Chain A
Amino acid sequence: MAENPAAEVTTANPVAEAIAALKAQFPDAVTEDDRKGYTGIVVDPESLVEVATAVRDTLGYNYLSSATAVDYLGKGDYFEMVYHTYRVPAGGPPLVIKARTPRDKATLPSVISVWPGADFQEREAYDLMGIRFEGHPNLKRILLWEGFDGHPLRKDWKEAYYEQDQKPFDSRWPQGHVHRAEERNPYGKNVRYPEGFTLDDFTPVGEAPNYEGIDLGVNVQEMTTPGLKTDRLVVNLGPHHPSTHGVFRMVVTLNGETVEDLQPVMGYLHRNHEKIGERNTFLQNMPFTDRLDYITSMSNNLGYALAVERLLSLGPRYQPPTYRAEVIRVLMVELTRVVSHMWAIGFLLNDLGAFYTPALYAIAERELILDFFEAVAGSRMMCNYMRFGGVFKDLPERIQGIPLLANDRVRNEATLDYLANIINERLPRAIDELDNYLTNNEIIVTRCQGVGILPPEMAIAYSAAGPLLRASGVPYDVRRAEPYSIYPELDFDVAVRYNGDIYDRYLLRIDEMRQSVRILKQLLPRLRETEGQPIISGSKAYSPRVPEGEAYGRVENPKGELGYYVVSDGGQNPWRYHVRAPSYINLTALGPMTKGHKVADIVAILGSIDIILGEVDR
């Protein structure tokens, strides 16, 4: 963060220029967002598509990172759709576009024709906020089910266990009373029905919407043509299927064994992250970010900390994180990247049929890093480690282990020696090992090369991020495109591969792990130099005063670009808290990528995207 103000001075111009150009081109439709703490332009809904096309084609903001809605109930009473657009692969700060619609008749034109990556994000805004998008070809609920009562992210929608708008709840604090929410609900469960609802005149909507528009049954025309006669049939993969990496479901239309169409069905792990996040205080959200992409809790923490720090920096008493804090943050994040890519490769091999053996090798290295996380943060997976302005605890002097299992060695090593051993010895060896065993393996080559190709222009259009984007030949990495933390002073290359198939995504992950190890090696001397320096700036306030405004903080997560859009109204809680989840948006390209391949390839293509359902469904 220390470098950021300087970076903004040099790069603030392109956005200002773009805004000026747009105001000149559309004097009636475009106004600058002049609310305190806000940036970007407000566009008249009528000309939204026209302006968006100009933004993409004339100004070069070809990448829609995030599209989300905010409910300004009581603050103007409108819904605002917020689009964050970037130049890819050039880099730089975002051009933020906003469009408003009244709350009672919420309708906006769909920008899917300009940025196809808006597909799922607009469906999410429809599902959770109730905004209709005209021109969207498939506008139905995505995370909840058809027939659900209301749109939960509206500020006036209250859940069954509703207690108060904001935490800490009066009933719990400061007196400290405890009650179980079930006891106050007439059904003893987390349910709430509309007034007068009974089962007498109720028919469930059921599964029909998932199969809408799919032509079921035998295609007579194809049956009468000469050659191999095949049936068209619909196959459901998931939500309980070993290859879906969790509770993901795909409705696949097959012709024989060839995929004609694939519709993802999600929401089986929709845990209402954003609604709970709006009730929480800013700090209370930190442990929840751990559970987004539960393999990479450390880097989720960093993204959220960056977003809130960006908001805090609007205030008068802001101090950027200390240097040691930044070093520790990058250390944690890069170790996480290795963990995540190891896991991704291990489980890609699982999907290719090498059941569990390669994964075991990958998990063995992960355990070493998890031991370090446990020693530092107190938990293996859910680290809850970063704080606004730094980290929560310094590295311990020694890593000590108790023998929990009969074959565990008692560990008592100096932390830096332990880290040096992992970084200099274990990880490079493990990466080489994976490379040696897998890269030229005949089965992997045959099944991965040329399968699931995503061309670069399509990857950008579908807002693909991370390894998916870079394996398609687009050298775009947030760590370089819009640098944060101490990445500018670190020496590493943005890995890129050009074929855009499963094989290149696999190779790219190997490349990235090598780059991460390169970064980690540069961090070790920095850790020694900064020993004893403060790990957090300012005071460790339980509830920091967050000034009014909006902020979008994004980091290069192992799965792709993870963004947090946070709006503050000056209170203790975020007014809006949205997560731009890379796994979720990367799935937009899954359908087009699988078309024309065999059914067995779906599993491999999905494995190569590397999704985590906690992040997909949030």
Chain B
Amino acid sequence: MTNGDSGLKALHNPDIPVPEELQSTIAITSLDRIYNWCRARSMWPLLFGLACCAIEMIAAAASRYDISRFGMEVMRPSPRQADLMIVSGTVTKKMVVPIVRIYNQMAEPKYVLAMGACASGGGPFKEGYNVVSGIDKYIPVDVYVPGCPPTPQALIHGFLTLQKKIESQSLRTVPWYRSGESTAIPIPLLGPDIIDPRQAELIRRQAEQAAAQAAAAPSEA
């Protein structure tokens, strides 16, 4: 977290002035702003590394770059306690199954940061048969950080971008305070290739199309 003084000043509402001498101890602000201000400065990332990018993530957490300056250093190994999933590396078809499961286990509000080229879109390994073309094909992503791997500075910039996004949210519209349960993302299946259950209908239609084409082909010949 940034130091308390300037942090509190960021909350002030210019329409309701606070006497100068009290500005470092009192803030008059809206519920939205204090709620987002608290959340943005105490993001707990999931302790979860996939590939090369994880090494730069560790470097970002180490003394030189030190993400604790932004309130992000409390890495939680359990998805139940984490707010932010940093997808740090190549997502393979074999790994996307546990990733979706972990994402479903995280409590709302939750955010996803796609770190690096692979997590954002497949990266250099995109053409590989076991590589997912970006984690956003399966779970929603809030921030993309480019690079292969992104430098720690770039990752920190991603964190700050995420903080901005959080500060733009409102209690009245955030999905996790709506009534009803939030829907989990269906877990992909490992068959002859990875299967997204949401595409079951599409797979059937493709098979029917192929069968129809095969039936039509001999009559043409």
Contact = CB atoms under 8 A, between A and B. Distances in A.
B70 interface: no
A579 interface: no
Residue picked from B95, B128, B189, B190, most chain A C-beta under 10 Å: B128
Interface residues of A, number: 67
Nearest to B200: A199
A205 B127 contact: no
A198 B207 contact: yes
Interface string B47-62: 1111110111011001
B178 to A, nearest CB: 29
A405 B153 contact: yes
Residue picked from A145, A199, A613, most chain B C-beta under 10 Å: A199
Contacts of B125: 271-273, 276, 291
A269 B88 CA distance: 12
B119 interface: no
B195 A199 contact: yes
A404 B156 CA distance: 12
B127 A279 contact: yes
Given A190-B133, A270-B92, A271-B90, A363 B62 contact: yes
B204 A198 contact: yes
Contact of A242 (B47, B130, B148, B192): B47
Contact of A268 (B56, B64, B77, B95): B95
Interface string A602-618: 00000000000110010
Contacts of B50: 246-247, 269
B132 A190 contact: yes
Interface in A375-397: 380-382
B136 to A, nearest CB: 11
Interface in A90-124: none
Interface in B64-107: 64-65, 77, 89-90, 92-95, 98, 102
A603 to B, nearest CB: 13
A46 B91 CA distance: 42
B167 interface: no
B3 to A, nearest CB: 13
B51 A288 contact: no
Contact of A195 (B77, B194, B196, B210): B210
B151 interface: yes
13 contacts: A147-B191, A161-B127, A181-B127, A182-B133, A190-B131, A196-B207, A269-B50, A269-B95, A270-B92, A272-B131, A287-B124, A294-B149, A363-B63
Interface of A: 143-145, 147-149, 152, 159-161, 163, 181-182, 186-200, 202, 204-206, 239-242, 246-247, 267-273, 275-276, 279, 287-288, 291, 294-295, 359-360, 363-364, 366-367, 380-382, 404-405, 613-614, 617
